[in-house]
Structure 1
């Protein structure tokens, strides 16, 4: 199971606009959840502890595991999300394009219009769609954090793993922090523009 890849595909499929920064943070959280479920990491409070167990056979998940801090004091989830999440959505897009799971599309009728991509009908896309249709708790929770779901998902009953719940809470906090930074910049830019515009 590759929750990060499934989340990326769902984000491409649905009709909601998702910010690259938000998606990158959520993908980093999804990678941690996959590593938890594979037994490759454990949580000590809010710190990520590698266990030495094998990682899933996926290039990006293996890269995530290789980047973990392996000595105490171990890295905090929040710090790892921001570090690993930098441009992670672009890395997933590139990997899926390289494996022909995303195909380029042009918006508008002009051949030089803005470039965008959409998922190809592959087993991976069908698996992601099945998890989405079945409201798989972890995928639904991540989608809810990103605002992909039309309504917040009631997934608490499906999240029995405390470590997974801890990661989801950290992803939520990081996305909220990023939104607060955006809002602050918007206000500052508006004030700066008004200063130059004058009364």
Structure 2
């Protein structure tokens, strides 16, 4: 399993401190992919730019797709640019992959009109491994989970990430999440102002 898959499983398995936005999760998943590519020595960081290395065989389809989509010409792509480009719709892609593998199933909700279903995690070795990694406070998973507000963990309470490159990626995820929240707040203010105009307030 990859860090991104483990993060998605933990996010589904753990009640977040606040409703989990798909955009937040997608940014964190994109960061998790860079961290796994660093671990596989498929990339390195030059300051905050992702420099492709050798092209290892990667069993995970989505992580292999990530490796294939790296910018391979100087000045390369910054971690921040990667998060926004790669992160677009990424949580849906990972959820679809888990569902295709039988890691996620659809469960019919009782007493709901039209028999709607919700997606739930199957009891699987992958789920148990992700849970073990989470409960052991593994620094990378803990840092990414805290960044998106799951498990009651705050970023300042997460174990320190020792590797400088990984810490750079985690910091970029935090910055991107703050930027996304600022965009949401700005849109909410604009929409409220627009509504006030229509109401004549």
- TM-score, normalised to structure 1, is 0.95
Cα distance in 2, alignment partners of residues 70 and 112 from structure 1: 49
C-alpha RMSD over aligned residues:
1.4
Cα distance in 1, alignment partners of residues 14 and 158 from structure 2: 20
Superposed counterparts of 1:1-199, under 5 Å: 1-16=1-16, 17-110=19-112, 112-153=114-155, 154-157=157-160, 159-199=161-201
Query: Residue 120 of structure 2 aligns to a residue in which SS?
Result: strand
Q: Which digits, 9 at most, give the CA deviation of each residue in 1:50-74, with x for residues without a partner?
A: 1114153100000000000111111
Cα distance in 1, alignment partners of residues 43 and 149 from structure 2: 28
- TM-score, normalised to structure 2, is 0.94
Query: What is the number of residues matched between the two proteins?
Result: 198
Segments of 5+ residues of structure 2 without an aligned counterpart are none
Cα distance in 1, alignment partners of residues 109 and 186 from structure 2: 32
Cα distance in 2, alignment partners of residues 23 and 198 from structure 1: 38
119-128 or 48-57, larger mean C-alpha shift: 48-57
Segments of 5+ residues of structure 1 without an aligned counterpart are none
Cα distance in 2, alignment partners of residues 98 and 53 from structure 1: 26
Cα distance in 2, alignment partners of residues 11 and 23 from structure 1: 8
